[in-house]
């Protein structure tokens, strides 16, 4: 297979001119990618992204979203910013607005692609799925003729890293479904089950109860810790925030990464070939997912922005950049004793971030062989 082309703009700005700024470089990246190859005039274009959480502010900045929206409009497309419900839809739209995402700032409508309650999905079969045979793809993504996937690259509790694959695998499917096909909560359960509680270690601080996004946890002081298995999305946040070790979420990273690749395959199968473009923002790379209720300091300096139409290639290139970067002091990397470059997320989050990329390549979603094409400034037409 030929090498996939990945366009790259470094985050450094060493010349005091707009054309060398990161927003200008993004304009140039979009020009080089030639959106007219992917988008026809008057086509709806889903711009898939994560809108963050209360306290999680290190997401893709609205200025960059607006650049992508304007580029889509310039070739005649009709863009909308799409996300799926993580908390109830109306509340999530309020969070989005608080984080700076609105029609006014982004230049396009912002919608919950799986409906206000997360049940607006279309079942999609996965013929060669080992873990998933059918999954509910968010209807607005399913029906969109074209898509641009904007991913904030950061860490994640389960696969170690979250980028474009995680953006689609978890964010392209419904939070809940009306039927029996797999949803986001089921995808979590491919790797583990509801958390295990050890009473002797519990200090009754109630942090787990506060952080649960679906209200599945009830704490009876001094008596019992109760989880509603029907509500629980098995996201692992409660175990993640328990510093006393009272909660344990056994994780099978191999299974979860395979499940993510299969879920991504289902989402991509709803588009005709040549209708998707990926934009990875390797900036403010924090150790946790943007669905957590906070954002830690970055693990490495901002690396820049990558664009490709190959999801495997752009993920491989992103991880290569991160593994070449020096870890930053006063970050979780320093907490873990990671002070030299190499295997960043494997050492910080103790999960192999390349598993999902390997499985995606095995499923034929792209190639890990890539050619990196670096651009240094925005070109001006004569």
Over the range 111-145, which residues count as b (16 or more CB within 10 Å of their CB) and which as e? Answer: bbbbbeebbbbbbbebeebebbeebbbbbbbbebb
Average pLDDT score over the chain: 90
Are domains 4-188+251-375 and 193-248 of this chain identical in fold? no
Sequence-distant (≥ 6) Cβ neighbours of residue 198 within 8 angstroms: 245, 246, 247, 248
How far apart CA 204 and CA 246 sit, in angstroms, is 10
Q: Output the pLDDT for position 179.
A: 45
Q: pLDDT tens, 63-99?
A: 999 999 999 999 999 999 999 998 888 999 999 999 9
Q: Are 101 and 110 in contact (CB under 8 A)?
A: yes
Question: Is pLDDT larger for residue 180 or for residue 73?
Answer: 73
Find the distance separating the first CA and the last CA of the chain, reported in whole Å: 37
CB distance 170 to 356 below 8 Å: no
Q: What length does the chain have? A: 382
For residue range 44-57, list pLDDT tens digits in order: 999 999 999 999 99
Q: Does residue 197 or residue 14 have the better pLDDT?
A: 14
**CB atoms < 10 A from the CB of 62, how many?**
18
Closest CA to 271 of 131, 134, 124: 124
**Fold exhibited by the domain 193-248:** Alpha-Beta Plaits (3.30.70)
Instruction: Give, in degrees to the nearest 5, the angle at Cα 91 between 251 and 66.
Output: 90
Structure tokens at 188: 């979590």
Query: CATH second-level architecture of 4-188+251-375?
Result: 3-Layer(aba) Sandwich (3.40)
| Residues paired with residue 197 on neighbouring β-strands, in sequence order | 247
Q: Where do the domains of the chain lie?
A: 4-188+251-375, 193-248
Tens digit of pLDDT for each residue in 300-334? 999 999 999 999 999 999 999 999 999 999 999 99
275-301 burial code (b ≥16 CB/10 A, e <16):
bbbbbbbbbbbbbbbbbbeebbebbbe
Confidence of residue 253 (pLDDT cuts 50, 70, 90): low
Above pLDDT 70, what percent of the chain?
A: 92
Between CA 227 and CA 251 the distance in angstroms is 18
Query: Residue 62's pLDDT band (boundaries 50, 70, 90)?
Result: very high
Reported as a single tens digit per residue, the pLDDT across 339-364 is 999 999 999 998 899 999 999 999 99
Euclidean distance between CA atoms 178 and 184, whole angstroms:
13
| DSSP type of residue 195 | P
Exposure string (b/e) for 93-109, b if CB count within 10 Å is 16 or more?
Answer: bebbeebbbbeebbbbe
pLDDT of 195 above 90: no
Q: What's the confidence (pLDDT) of residue 220? A: 83
| H or E element, residue 148 | strand 146-152
d(Cα 22, Cα 152) in Å, to the nearest integer? Answer: 15
Nearest to 238 by CA among 215, 221, 260: 215
β-pairing, 224-227 with 304-308? unpaired
In eight-state DSSP terms, residue 85 is -
Does residue 269 register a pLDDT over 80? yes
């Amino acid at each position: 297979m030929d090498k996939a082309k990945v366009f790259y703009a470094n985050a450094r700005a060493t010349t005091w001119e707009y054309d060398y700024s990161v927003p200008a470089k993004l304009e140039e990246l979009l020009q080089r990618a030639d959106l007219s190859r992917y988008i026809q005039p008057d086509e709806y274009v889903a711009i898939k992204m994560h809108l963050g959480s209360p306290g999680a502010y290190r997401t893709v900045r609205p200025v960059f979203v607006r650049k992508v929206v304007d580029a889509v409009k310039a070739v005649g497309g009709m863009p909308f910013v799409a996300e799926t419900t993580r908390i109830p839809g109306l509340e999530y739209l309020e969070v989005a607005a608080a984080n700076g995402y609105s029609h006014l700032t982004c230049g396009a409508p912002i919608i919950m692609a799986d409906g206000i309650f997360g049940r607006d999905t279309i079942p999609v079969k996965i013929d060669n799925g080992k873990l998933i045979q059918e999954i509910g793809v968010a209807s607005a993504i399913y029906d969109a003729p074209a898509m641009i996937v904007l991913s904030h690259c950061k860490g994640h509790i389960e696969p170690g890293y979250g980028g474009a694959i995680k953006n689609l695998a978890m964010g392209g499917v419904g939070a809940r479904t009306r039927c029996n096909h797999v949803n986001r909560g089921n995808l979590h359960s491919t790797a583990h089950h509801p958390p295990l509680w050890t009473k002797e270690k519990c200090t009754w601080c109630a942090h787990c109860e506060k952080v649960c996004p679906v209200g599945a946890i009830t704490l009876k002081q001094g008596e019992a810790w109760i989880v509603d298995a029907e509500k629980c999305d098995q996201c692992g946040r409660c175990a993640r925030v328990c510093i006393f070790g009272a909660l344990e979420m056994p994780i099978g990273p191999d299974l979860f990464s395979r499940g993510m690749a299969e879920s991504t395959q289902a989402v991509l199968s709803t588009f005709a070939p040549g209708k998707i473009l990926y934009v990875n923002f390797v900036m403010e790379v924090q150790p946790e997912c943007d669905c957590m209720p906070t954002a830690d300091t970055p693990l490495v300096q901002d690396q820049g922005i990558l664009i490709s139409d190959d999801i495997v290639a752009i993920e491989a290139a992103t991880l290569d950049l991160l593994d070449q970067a020096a870890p930053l002091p006063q970050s979780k990397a320093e907490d873990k004793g990671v002070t030299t470059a190499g295997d960043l997320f494997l050492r910080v989050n103790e999960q192999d971030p390349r598993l999902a990329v390997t499985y995606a390549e095995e499923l034929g979603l792209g190639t890990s062989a890539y050619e990196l094409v670096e651009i240094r400034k925005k070109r001006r037409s004569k």
